[in-house]
Structure 1
Amino acid sequence: MFRYILRRLLQMVLTFFGATFIVYALMFANQDDPVQALAGDRPITDSQRQILTERYHLDEPFLQQYRYYMEGLLTGDFGTSLTGRRISDMMADAWPVTIKLALLAIVIAATVAITAGVVSGIRRAGTFDNVTLVLTLVILCLPIVVLAPLARLVFGVQLGWFPPTAGRDASWWALLLPAIVLGSLVVATQLRVTRSAVAENLRADYVRTARAKGLSGRRVIGVHVLRNSLIPVVTLVGVDIGNLMSGAIVTEGVFNIPGVGFNLFRGITTEDGPLVVGFVSILVIVFLVVNLVVDLLYAALDPRIRYA
Structure 2
Amino acid sequence: MFRYLIRRLLQMVLTFFGATFIVYALMFANQTDPIQALAGERPITDSQRLALTERYHLDEPFLGQYWHYMKGLLTGDFGISLTNRKISEMMADAWPVTIRLALIAIVIVAIVAIVAGVISGIRRGGTFDNVTLVLTLVVLSMPIVVLAPLARLVFGIQLGWFPPTATRDAGFYELLLPALVLGSLVVATELRVTRSAVAENLRSDYVRTARAKGLTRQRVVGVHVLRNSLIPVVTLIGVDLGNLMSGAIVTEGVFNIPGVGFNLFRAIKTEDGPLVVGFVSVLVIVFLMVNLLVDLLYAALDPRIRYE
Q: TM-score, normalised by structure 1?
A: 0.99
1:45 positional shift: 1.1
User: Amino acid of the residue matched to residue 279 of structure 2?
Assistant: F
Give runs of aligned pairs for residues 107-118 of structure 1, distance below 5 A.
Answer: 107-118=107-118
AA aligned to 2:45 is T
- Offset, 1:46: 1.1
CA-to-partner distance for each residue in 1:98-150, whole Å, 9 max, x for gaps?
A: 00000000000111000000000000111110110010011001000000000
Alpha-carbon RMSD: 0.6
- In 1, the alpha carbon distance for the partners of 2:84 and 2:172 equals 31
- The separation in 2 between residues aligned to 1:6 and 1:166, in whole angstroms, is 42
State the match for 1:18 in structure 2. Answer: 18
**Residues in 2 aligned to 1:240 and 1:7: alpha-carbon distance in whole angstroms:** 24
Query: Which residue pairs with 1:45 in the alignment?
Result: 45
Distance 1:172 1:30, change over 3 A: farther
Structure 2, unaligned runs of 5 or more:
none
CA distance in 2: counterparts of 1:85 and 1:128, whole angstroms: 53
Question: Deviations along 1:273-305, whole A, 9 cap, x unmatched?
Answer: 100000000000000000000000000000011
Alignment of 1:2-13 (within 5 A): 2-13=2-13
Question: How far apart are residue 240 of structure 1 and its match?
Answer: 0.4
* 1:217 counterpart residue number: 217
Q: Deviations over 1:66-117 (max 9, x none)?
A: 0000000000000000000000000000000000000000000111000000
Identity %: 85
Instruction: Please name the residue that 2:179 is paired with.
Output: 179
CA distance in 1: counterparts of 2:205 and 2:61, whole angstroms: 63
Deviation digits for residues 183-237 of structure 1 (CA, Å, limit 9, x no counterpart): 0000000000000000000000110111111111111100000000000000001
Structure 1 residue 167 displacement after superposition: 1.4
TM-score w.r.t. structure 2 length? 0.99
Q: 1:219 to 1:6 in 2, by over 3 A?
A: same
Mapping of residues 155-170 of structure 1, within 5 Å: 155-170=155-170
Of the structure 1 ranges 176-185 and 26-35, higher mean CA displacement relative to structure 2 is found in 26-35
Runs of 4+ in 1 over 3 A off after TM superposition: none
Deviations 1:247-282 (A, max 9, x none): 000000000100000111011011111000000000
Amino acid corresponding to residue 277 of structure 1 in structure 2: V
In the alignment, structure 1 residue 69 sits paired with structure 2 residue 69:
yes
| Partner Cα separation in structure 2 for residue 285 and residue 179 of structure 1 | 22
Query: Is the counterpart of residue 191 in structure 1 residue 191 in structure 2?
Result: yes
Aligned to 1:97: 97
What is the distance in 2 between the residues matched to 1:173 and 1:207? 42
Secondary structure, counterpart of 2:173 in structure 1: coil
Q: Deviations over 1:167-189 (max 9, x none)?
A: 11111100000000000000000
Distance in 2, matches of 1:182 and 1:41, equals 35
